[in-house]
């Protein structure tokens, strides 16, 4: 269900479904990582930090987790910690251009050379029910 909601660009619903999965499987790293990703996609970066920190502690050699943690710190405006996490990700996967770009961006923003990107617009639109003219 989480994947379906994510594919339909409904990140809040995807995060809600992944939350249930995490509660059912709190020790499964893949489930916890999926939930952290869904929280980030929903813009709930503060909530994504705790599971990412747990995963990073358990998986210090995983570049993807380090990068995701860096993204969470970046989106919560903790640039020092974002740079640290992005540095770790780039060191673990030196051929990954995305990780290097994330480190470069966070460093530039922290130095005041670039602006923090504007948050993405809400992916989920409110559903407006329009009164049918026939029933009006």
pLDDT at position 66 is 97
pLDDT at position 43 is 87
Residues 29 and 42 reside in one and the same domain: yes
Section 14-36 average pLDDT: 63
Predicted TM-score (pTM) of the model is 0.73
Residue 2 has pLDDT above 70, yes or no: no
Section 121-131 average pLDDT: 50
How would residue 8 be classed by pLDDT, with cut points 50, 70 and 90?
very low
pLDDT at position 41 is 85
Residues 103 and 82 reside in one and the same domain: yes
Residues 54 and 70 reside in one and the same domain: no
The parent domain of residue 36 ranges over 1-58
Burial readout 11-48 (b: 16 or more C-beta within 10 A, e: otherwise):
bbbbbebbeebbeeeeeeeebbbbbbbbbbbbbbbebb
How would residue 30 be classed by pLDDT, with cut points 50, 70 and 90?
confident
Residues 50 and 65 reside in one and the same domain: no
Q: Structure tokens of 67?
A: 């990068």
Residues 17 and 43 reside in one and the same domain: yes
């Amino acid at each position: 269900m989480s994947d379906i909601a994510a594919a339909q660009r409904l990140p809040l619903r995807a995060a809600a479904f992944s939350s249930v999965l995490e509660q059912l499987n709190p020790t499964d790293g893949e489930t916890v990582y999926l939930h952290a990703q869904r929280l980030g996609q929903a813009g709930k970066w503060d909530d994504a930090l705790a599971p990412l920190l747990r995963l990073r502690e358990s998986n210090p050699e995983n570049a993807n987790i380090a990068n995701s943690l860096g993204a969470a710190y970046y989106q919560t405006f903790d640039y020092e910690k974002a740079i640290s996490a992005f540095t770790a990700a780039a060191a673990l996967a030196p051929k990954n251009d995305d990780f290097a770009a994330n480190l470069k961006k966070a460093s530039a923003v922290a130095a005041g050379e670039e602006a923090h990107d504007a948050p993405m617009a809400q992916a989920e639109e409110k559903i407006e029910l329009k009164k049918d003219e026939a029933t009006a």
